Amino acid sequence: MGANNHHHILSVMDDLSGAIIEIGTAAWGGSTDCFATLAACHDRFTFHTVDTGDGPHAYASALAKRIPRMLVHKMTGEVFLSEVYPSLSHPICYAYLDNYDWNYDEGKAGPEQDWITEQRRSYEAMGLEYSNAASAQAHLMQTMELIKFAGPRCIILYDDTYQIRSKWHGKGMIAIPHLLEKGWKIVEKTDLSVGLSNY
């Protein structure tokens, strides 16, 4: 995860109004607390956080009891965007995609680290394939659904995404070319995150 890359919203928030979507709840601090604070302090924002994990869901649910305009969803981002969001009324102004873990060790020689093996088991228990190809595909699917509900000023920020020479790598590696083809432009780029805007 890029260091505090979710703070990018603070530099553009005056231009935005609508729903903030976080796919991949940051339990015990980080992006979830940041976006929840914006929802609490500014009534022009509604905040939706989405995760499949029990721990992140419990953390966000407890937080949402104290935060107006914060809603918590326990499901994949693809299901949320395709089955739940169409019934909601707020255009999306900001989306932070930090879900479906990226395995930086994939393809390396040698035995798999214990924590990666555990991650693989947890994904398989949910019926998901734990691979970088699956992660990139999930982010493309989320992006294709997101842009259906994008407001006139919308930014999508991808975590664990980077460029080497002209080739994209990481979670947004196939979603970013899709957005660029549709006229979106890069407005934020760090070592491990990339943000694109439709305005």
pTM of the model: 0.94
pLDDT of residue 27: 82
* Residue 24 per-residue DSSP state: S
* Residue 131 per-residue DSSP state: S
Torsion angle of C-alpha atoms 37, 42, 46, 51, degrees rounded to 10: -10
Average pLDDT over residues 81-88: 96
pLDDT of residue 2: 46
Question: For residue 1, is pLDDT > 70?
Answer: no
Which residues contact residue 192 at a Cβ distance below 8 angstroms, ignoring those fewer than 6 apart?
1, 2, 5, 159, 160, 161, 162, 170
The lowest-confidence range among 3-7, 49-53, 84-88, 140-144 is 3-7
Q: In the chain, what are the domain boundaries?
A: 5-197
CATH of 5-197, one of 3.10.310.10, 3.40.50.150, 3.40.50.300, 3.40.50.10860: 3.40.50.150
pLDDT of residue 89: 84
Read off the pLDDT of residues 2-23 as tens digits, 9 standing for 90 and up.
457 899 999 999 999 999 999 9
| 46-83: burial string, b at 16+ Cβ within 10 Å, e else | bbbbbbbbeebbebbeebbeebebbbbbbebbbebbee
Read off the pLDDT of residues 104-150 as tens digits, 9 standing for 90 and up.
999 888 888 998 999 999 999 999 999 999 999 999 999 999 999 99
Which residues contact residue 55 at a Cβ distance below 8 angstroms, ignoring those fewer than 6 apart?
27
